[in-house]
């Protein structure tokens, strides 16, 4: 994994808003809106890493689970 990048899997929360979990790291955060989530993810990454070790790129991978009836 490139240490200059980090990827979060983002899901819509059952309570509304979004939840984000980092792949390969113990980082979880949430936000009511997409803009709030992005700010919360940036803040969580800054808190988790020392500045010199922090990833320079953050990927948000939105996963949507939808059930279709036939």
CA distances from 38 to 4, 27, 35 (A): 18, 14, 5
Per-residue pLDDT tens over the stretch 22-32: 999 999 999 99
* Residue 3, pLDDT above cutoff 80: no
Per-residue pLDDT tens over the stretch 49-61: 998 899 999 999 9
Query: Nearest-CA neighbor of 8 among 47, 57, 49?
Result: 57
* Residue 48, pLDDT above cutoff 60: yes
Q: pLDDT grade, residue 66 (50/70/90)?
A: confident
pLDDT at 55: 94
């Amino acid at each position: 994994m490139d240490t200059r990048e980090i990827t979060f899997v983002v899901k819509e929360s059952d309570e509304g808003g979004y939840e984000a979990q980092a792949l390969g790291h113990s980082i979880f955060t949430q936000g009511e809106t997409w803009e709030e989530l992005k700010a919360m993810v940036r803040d969580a990454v800054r808190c988790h890493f020392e500045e010199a070790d922090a990833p320079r790129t953050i990927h948000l991978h939105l996963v949507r689970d939808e059930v279709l009836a036939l």
